[in-house]
Structure 1
Amino acid sequence: MQIKKTTEPADASLFCRKLLAGEIKLDAANRVIASENSRTHTHLHPNRLHITYTEEGYGFCQMENALYKLRPGTIHFVYPNEIHKYYSDKKNPYKVYFLHFDWIGKSPEAPRSVIIKKADQKRINEIFYGLFHFYHYFKAPSKTARILSRLFELFAEITEYTEVLDSEKSEGSLLDREFFMDVLTKLQTPPFSFPGIDALAKEKKVSRRHFTRAFRRNTGMSVMEYFNDARKTYARFLLRSSEYTVKEIAYQCGYSNSQNMRRALSDKTS
């Protein structure tokens, strides 16, 4: 089981063209406040694009053998016909917006997850709240136009967050998902042995400074934060599954013993 947080270039023009052509239609806009330690059933959406935005709290989305962390500011995509399941956090369950689109044709060139900076989250919250409000409560003739304007704004925001900055292209496209894929896999899979930032930067043939800056821009956190967050999420998932002993889980997640693992999981900053 891998824990994934990936960012790829988004193609807002495809979303907008399909909206204008009537090839995609907003079919549902809901806000869900999950209870502690809750989960959905495993399901898929035939011919539907599914976008979630985490307003508050934590959880993760399981898709086949991968886990995608949900935290405040995370926009997460589930594409048509992908099997998935949601889990809320045991102590701080998520509050999320769910958007469902009827989708016809090619899947978009869009990210799996986008992490919005804290300074921008208020603006993104307002976009999702507007979609929820206009979809359920607005009865004026301008309802459709208002929903479309919010959707265009949302797709533009997603595109801006996943673009590679021109100033970084000269040192290689460090924001490309493929560039970081082997590094992310190494950091988020058992036995969770941290290789060191210098070793990772040397492996990618870039400076330590450029590696750490690009990594933070790609994932929204430092290398060590990403590593610790990944193994904590993986440990919590295994504990819920009840398939392994606590000692076995501690070993799989790179902790020296079960006591150290429990201490890490109880850390309020996790």
Structure 2
Amino acid sequence: MHGVRVASAAVQEPVPGITTSLHLHPNLLHLGCVEYGSGICRYGEVTRRFAPGRVFVLYPGVPHVFQASRRNPYRAFFIHVEVLGALARDLPEVIRLTDRRAEIEDQFRRMHAISGSSYSSLKLVGMLALLYADLLDISRRTAQPDERLTSIPESSMHDLLERFQSQPFEFPGIDALAKQTCMSRRSFTTMFRRMTGQSPYQLFNRLRMEHALGILSDGEMDVTRAAHCCGFANAQSFIKAFKAHFGITPLKRLKQDRKTTIVHE
């Protein structure tokens, strides 16, 4: 590698759910390596697992987001390399380390350890050259299976369902939900429907209607208060949505339920 400088060699300590903003580096090569824990990395239309045993390679100008798992957040090393001139894109986006995992992780660790010292600049370039050569060798010797996510991570799905069932019961929109899961709009909607059999709004509305039926059946609220509690502007809108979902108005449904209860008793 000619015409490079190590701009930074940092570590991200584990913080549950920590997410970077969507960003890009115009002239920086970005290398990431997880020591333990997990998360996801999204760039373009691709979402991949960010986990131990892999090195992520993000080339200059590629918008990307990293998000740590809420339950098992990663501790990761990130190296930013300033590129002077053209850069050969000879490394794949994800490199599986196989039997050399400990060795490569140690190189990331040592580069972070000496960064910021008075003599680190030239030494870091030498260490980077060795790391780059090793990654190139590994990538050429091993087949790199696709690491794209085939489903929304469990922790992210749990957060979405919790959001759908909580006040103020306002549907946040597909773009906001995709951003929350660090996925593209297209990938999010495709995976969501694959996992649930419904669109995000369909599931949101079903959960909201079931919540409304529950609080009405418990006698906690009348129709007007239930409408407000479930995010409707007025009772008329709520009654219309309730009838569209259950095929019957709220009051008729409650009368039905009471008759059924009396018969069973």
- Flag whether TM exceeds 0.5 (same fold): yes
Cα distance change of structure 1 residues 158 and 249 upon mapping to structure 2, 3 Å threshold = closer
Q: TM-score, normalised by structure 1?
A: 0.55
- The DSSP-based 3-state class of the residue aligned with 2:78 is strand
Kept in 1, the 8 Å contact 2:40–2:67? The answer is yes
Q: Residue 27 of structure 1: CA displacement?
A: 0.6
Question: Is 2:145 the partner of 1:219?
Answer: yes
Letter in 1 for 2:195: C
Kept in 2, the 8 Å contact 1:238–1:249? The answer is no
> Deviation per CA, 1:177-227, whole angstroms, max 9, x where unpaired?
xxxxxxxxxxxxxxxxxxxxxxxxxxxxxxxxxxxxxxxx4229xxxxx7x
Counterpart of 1:230 in structure 2 is 149
Q: Residue 251 of structure 1: CA displacement?
A: 4.6
Counterpart of 1:80 in structure 2 is 60
Letter in 2 for 1:100: H
Q: Residue 115 of structure 1: CA displacement?
A: 1.5
- The DSSP-based 3-state class of the residue aligned with 1:44 is coil
**Structural mapping, 1:1-270, within 5 Å:** 15=1, 18=2, 23-109=3-89, 110-117=91-98, 119-136=99-116, 138-139=117-118, 141=119, 143-164=120-141, 217-219=143-145, 230-233=149-152, 243=174, 251-253=193-195
Letter in 2 for 1:153: L
Aligned alpha-carbon RMSD (Å): 3.0
Q: Distance in 1 between matches of 2:101 and 2:152?
A: 23
> Structure 2 regions of 5+ residues with no counterpart?
164-173, 178-189, 198-265
The count of residues paired between Structure 1 and Structure 2 equals 171
Cα distance change of structure 1 residues 250 and 116 upon mapping to structure 2, 3 Å threshold = same
Bigger Rg, structure 1 or 2? 2
Q: Residue 126 of structure 1: CA displacement?
A: 1.4
Q: TM-score, normalised by structure 2?
A: 0.56
Q: Distance in 1 between matches of 2:149 and 2:95?
A: 16
Q: Distance in 1 between matches of 2:72 and 2:131?
A: 26
Kept in 2, the 8 Å contact 1:234–1:253? The answer is no
Q: Distance in 2 between matches of 1:97 and 1:121?
A: 14
Q: Residue 66 of structure 1: CA displacement?
A: 1.1
- The DSSP-based 3-state class of the residue aligned with 1:26 is strand
Letter in 2 for 1:45: H
Q: Residue 234 of structure 1: CA displacement?
A: 5.5
Kept in 2, the 8 Å contact 1:235–1:249? The answer is no
Q: Distance in 2 between matches of 1:240 and 1:74?
A: 27
Higher-RCO chain (CA-CA 8 Å, sequence separation at least 6): 1
- The DSSP-based 3-state class of the residue aligned with 2:129 is helix
> Structure 1 regions of 5+ residues with no counterpart?
1-14, 165-174, 176-216, 221-225, 256-270
